[in-house]
């Protein structure tokens, strides 16, 4: 008697936006026979994050960090919401401009730029850019005399998972010398920027950095009209982010009121990336290999091809929660022995052909994925409610 072919399990929709996912996944033909991983990008989540930002940090204008996730639908949505954009290369500037963003809404926030990228920014009217050393000033002076410069300072990032001040930012002892050099080169300096690092665990790091920036403003006696403060990024955005984000915001607002009050004439911006997109993306991945070993560890292989950022993610098998769980290792599909997703993870048994869901996959995942071994990168399917669509008259 011929065995009945096992029916593949589909993505369990209860984990993520139920109604939208039902229409997209249950009725979508691409999932029936495909093994290609895919993201579902919830653009309504970006909208809700933006509303929360405006309510919680009313004085701080967000300039979205394009490097975090450059999906065109994300850029378009954030542009519609009115954010600016933090670009770090010619390519990012090209992308943002091609999607209708105007040059004055872009900050070229990279302190070490190729000359060709500076020239491109000049031809496209992108004037605002960062620097932290004399060599960068010489390049800018030769390529973009209209540049509006923002001095990046190094700050204490010892309480962050990813530290940036070792590579970026100038030390306080060098600030005066750099500003004097700007004067000699007839370059305009309009403000100060910093970044406390990603995965910051101490809200007071923002207060200290804002105070450090105030010292730079106070020591400027060279005729510069300093009118911009850029407080960088590092804001959390995965599920459960609200408590930490509110804590950071409270400290930031109090520090701004103390060191840069509303009547000071200083515009405050930030460069949030993961804040906007982390929880907006959920990844669906297909299991195409499985290995059970004697030590009771299930090794699930060939799951997907996408990078996972350092922040916390949650992996959901497409099974009922009451099933027995087994100690498992989840591997990526490539020949690289380091392509391991989780070392030990307790999960119900899955079969070849099943699908897994992984939440909080919007930050530094899509942009860092690889086509090593020529495995397919994950497709992206943006979704948006009719209410939000109509609200912004999208087409």
What is the reported pLDDT for 6?
40
What does the pLDDT look like over 146-156, one tens digit per residue?
999 999 999 98
Residues with Cβ within 8 Å of 132's Cβ and at least 6 positions away in sequence, in order, are: 111, 151, 152, 153, 154, 168, 169, 170, 178
What is the reported pLDDT for 12?
34
Other Cβ atoms closer than 10 A to 123: 9
Mean pLDDT of the chain: 84
Q: Which fold has domain 26-41+279-386?
A: Lyase, Ornithine Decarboxylase; Chain A, domain 1 (2.40.37)
Say if residue 166 is exposed, middle or buried (CB neighbours under 10 Å; 0-12, 13-18, 19+). Answer: exposed
Active centre residues (catalytic): 335
Q: CA nearest 62: which of 276, 363, 254, 260?
A: 276
Q: Which residue has the tokens 């060098």?
A: 174
Half-sphere exposure of 346 (CA within 13 A, CB side): 5
More confident residue, 371 or 366: 366
pLDDT-based confidence at residue 198 (cuts at 50, 70, 90): confident
pLDDT-based confidence at residue 346 (cuts at 50, 70, 90): confident
**For residue 46, is pLDDT > 60?**
yes
pLDDT-based confidence at residue 299 (cuts at 50, 70, 90): low
- In angstroms, how far apart are the furthest CA atoms of the chain? 90
Query: What's the CA gap between 250 and 191, in Å, rounded?
Result: 23
Q: CA nearest 105: which of 118, 120, 86, 119?
A: 86
Start-to-end C-alpha separation, the chain: 55
What does the pLDDT look like over 94-134, one tens digit per residue?
999 999 999 999 999 999 999 999 999 999 999 999 999 99
pTM, 2 dp: 0.87
pLDDT-based confidence at residue 391 (cuts at 50, 70, 90): confident
Q: What percent of the chain has pLDDT over 70?
A: 83
Q: Give the tokens for residue 2.
A: 């011929």
Query: What's the CA gap between 88 and 171, in Å, rounded?
Result: 22
pLDDT-based confidence at residue 7 (cuts at 50, 70, 90): very low
CA 273-275-279 angle, to 5 degrees, is: 115
Query: What's the CA gap between 24 and 285, in Å, rounded?
Result: 15
What does the pLDDT look like over 278-292, one tens digit per residue?
999 988 888 888 888
Half-sphere exposure of 362 (CA within 13 A, CB side): 30
More confident residue, 322 or 101: 101
Query: What's the CA gap between 350 and 325, in Å, rounded?
Result: 10
State the SS3 of the chain.
CCCCCCCCCCCCHHHCCHHHHHHHHHCCCHHHHCCCCEEEEEHHHHHHHHHHHHHHCCCEEEEEEHHHCCCHHHHHHHHHHCCEEEECCHHHHHHHHHCCCCHHHEEECCCCCCHHHHHHHHHCCCCEEEECCHHHHHHHHHHCCCCEEEEEECCCCCCCCECCCCCCCECHHHHHHHHHHHHHCCCEEEEEECCCCECCCCCHHHHHHHHHHHHHHHHCCCCCCCCEEECCCCCCCCCCCHHHHHHHHHHHHHHHHHHCCHHHCCEEEECCCHHHHHHHEEEEEECCEEEECCCCEEEEECCCCCCCCCCCCEEEECCCCCCCEEEEEEECCCCCCCCEEEEEEEEECCCCCCEEEEECCCCCCCCCCCCHHHCCCCEEEEECCHHHHHHCCCC
Q: Which fold has domain 43-276?
A: TIM Barrel (3.20.20)
Q: Give the tokens for residue 246.
A: 């509110």
**For residue 2, is pLDDT > 80?**
no
Query: What's the CA gap between 179 and 108, in Å, rounded?
Result: 19
Domain extent listing, the chain: 26-41+279-386, 43-276
């Amino acid at each position: 008697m011929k065995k009945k072919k096992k029916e593949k399990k589909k993505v369990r929709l209860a984990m993520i936006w139920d109604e939208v996912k039902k229409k997209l996944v249950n009725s979508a033909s691409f999932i029936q026979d495909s093994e290609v991983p895919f993201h579902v990008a919830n653009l309504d989540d970006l909208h809700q994050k933006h509303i929360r930002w405006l309510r919680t940090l009313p004085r701080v204008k967000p300039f979205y960090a394009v490097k975090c996730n450059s999906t065109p639908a994300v850029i378009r949505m954030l542009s519609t919401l009115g954010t600016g954009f933090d670009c770090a290369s010619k390519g990012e500037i090209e992308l943002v401009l091609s999607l209708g963003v105007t040059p004055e809404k872009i900050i070229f926030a990279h302190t070490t730029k190729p000359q060709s990228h500076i020239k491109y920014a000049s031809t496209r009217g992108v004037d605002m850019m960062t620097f932290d050393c004399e060599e960068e000033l010489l390049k800018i002076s030769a390529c973009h005399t209209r540049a509006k410069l923002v001095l990046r300072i190094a700050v204490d990032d010892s309480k962050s998972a990813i530290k940036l001040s070792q590579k970026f930012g100038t030390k306080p002892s060098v600030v005066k010398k750099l500003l004097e050099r700007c004067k000699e080169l007839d370059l305009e300096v309009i403000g100060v920027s910093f970044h406390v690092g990603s995965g910051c665990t101490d809200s007071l790091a923002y207060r200290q950095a804002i105070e450090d920036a105030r010292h730079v403003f106070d020591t400027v006696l060279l005729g510069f009209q300093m009118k911009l403060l850029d407080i960088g990024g590092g804001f959390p955005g995965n599920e459960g982010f609200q408590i930490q984000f509110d804590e950071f915001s409270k400290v930031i607002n109090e520090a701004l009121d103390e060191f840069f009050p509303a009547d000071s004439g200083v515009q405050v911006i930030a460069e949030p990336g993961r804040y906007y997109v982390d929880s907006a993306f959920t990844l669906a991945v297909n299991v195409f290999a499985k290995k059970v070993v004697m030590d009771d560890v299930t090794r699930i292989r060939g799951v997907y091809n996408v990078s996972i950022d350092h922040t916390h993610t949650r992996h959901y098998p497409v099974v009922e929660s009451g099933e027995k769980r087994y100690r498992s290792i989840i591997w990526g599909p490539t020949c690289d022995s380091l392509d391991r997703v989780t070392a030990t993870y307790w999960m119900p048994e899955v079969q070849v052909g099943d699908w897994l869901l992984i939440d909080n996959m919007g930050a530094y995942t899509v942009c860092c994925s690889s086509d090593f071994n020529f495995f397919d990168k994950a497709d992206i399917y943006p979704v948006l409610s009719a209410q939000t669509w109509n609200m912004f008259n999208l087409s």
